[in-house]
Amino acid sequence: MRVAAVILAAGTSSRYRAADPSVATKLVAPHGGVPLVRRVADAALASPARPVVVVTGHAAPEVRDALAGCAVAFAHNPDFATGLASSLRVGLGALPADASGALVLLGDMPGVTPPLLERLLAAFAIDPAAEAVVPVTAERRGNPALLGRALFARAGALTGDEGARRLLARARVVEVDVDDDAVLLDVDEPAALRLTPSANG
C-alpha cells in the first residue's frame, strides 16, 4: 500500500505577518534555526510516505528556497487566496494514481514527529477499509490527518477555507490515541512559534 504526503504551504499567513512584517510568510520563519516548513518536510521525509508533495501559493519562491535540497515535489495553487480547500484539491490532484491515501500535513505544525506519522500509516495499513486516520489527544482530533483515496473526490468538492473536518464527520475514521499536544498546535503568530516545540528539538 502506497501512501503519499501532502504539505499545505500556500496560505497568506496574514495574522503572523501583521505581527512580524519582516517575513514573507510564517513558513520560512526560523524555528530552532530551521525554517518552519522545512521542519514539517523533514518529518514527512523521515517517514515512509512517498512522494512528499508541497503545495505552494503565497510567497512560493520563499517556500521553495526554504526547502532547497529536500526530496519533495511542488504543486502550485494559483487560487490560494480562496482558502485551504483549493490547496488540498491541488495537493491530492498531484499524487500518483496508485496512491492509496495521503497524509495531509499543515506547514505550520513543527512539532509533528516521524514516529507519529508512522503510527498513522500503520493504523491505515491494518485497516485499509478506513476512509481516514486521525490522531486524538485529550479526546480532541488533531493533525495531520491521513485521507484514504475514497475521500479524495469528496475533498476536491470542498470550498473556501474548509479543511478535512467536514469530510471526517461523515467518514469511517480510525482514531489513534496519542499523548502529544503537538497534534493540536499550529503557529499563527510569532509568540506561538517561540512556544511551540519542534519534532527535532
Structural domains of the chain in order of their starting residue, each with its CATH number: 2-187 (3.90.550.10)
d(CA 29, CA 97): 34
Q: Which one-letter amino acid corresponds to residue 194? A: R
Q: Which of 8, 3, 1 is nearest to 158 (CA)?
A: 8
d(CA 142, CA 182): 9
**55 to 15, 19, 75, 141: CA distances (angstroms):** 20, 24, 5, 23
Assigned C-alpha cell, 82: 480562496
What is the pLDDT, as a whole number, of residue 197? Answer: 62
From first to last of its 201 residues, the chain has per-residue pLDDT tens of 899 999 999 999 988 888 889 889 999 999 889 999 999 999 999 999 999 999 999 999 999 999 999 999 999 999 999 999 999 999 999 999 999 999 999 999 999 999 999 999 999 999 978 999 999 999 999 999 999 999 999 998 888 887 777 788 889 999 999 998 889 888 888 877 766 665 554
For residue 139, give every residue at least 6 positions away whose Cβ sits within 8 Å of its Cβ, in sequence order, or none.
Answer: none
d(CA 5, CA 51): 6
What is the pLDDT, as a whole number, of residue 191? Answer: 76
Q: What is the pTM of this model?
A: 0.93
